[in-house]
Amino acid sequence: MSDGHSTAWAVFLADHVSRPGWSVARLHRESGVSKSTIFRWLKGERGLTIHSVRRVAMALDVDPATAMLAAGSVLGPPSPDDDPEMRSIMESKLPPAKKEAIIAIVRARRARDLDDTQAMIDLAAGES
């Protein structure tokens, strides 16, 4: 069932898979995300992870930050207890929409950091 939060991600995906040469099947092949999952997202269902957003962004050749902004609300609320950075955002006096935007940017930055870390691991593994 669709809700207002997942609409941005569904629209983002629909816009991209409807481009010439694109389809759900191609997104599946290039991202590794199952077709059934992509179809659920297109219907506005949840079940999104930062990792899957990164995979979709890479497959679509879209800036991960743009994809994270579209997926921001679907990724679920941050866990302020486990994350001091998120706690400071959540406890700020900013309006909810601005908090969500900042959280999406932080998540995008973290996704890029994870990519950089993986690249370092891959490089170090090749040197051994």
Q: What is the pLDDT of residues 36-83, one digit of tens each?
A: 999 999 988 877 888 888 899 999 999 888 888 888 766 665 555 557
pLDDT on residue 112: 80
Please tell me the predicted confidence (pLDDT) of residue 101.
Answer: 86
Residue 27 pLDDT greater than 80, yes or no: yes
- pTM beyond 0.75: the answer is no
Q: What is the rounded CA–CA span in Å between residue 124 and residue 120?
A: 6
Name the CA radius of gyration of the chain, rounded.
16
More reliable by pLDDT, 97 or 21: 21
CATH node for 7-127: 1.10.260.40
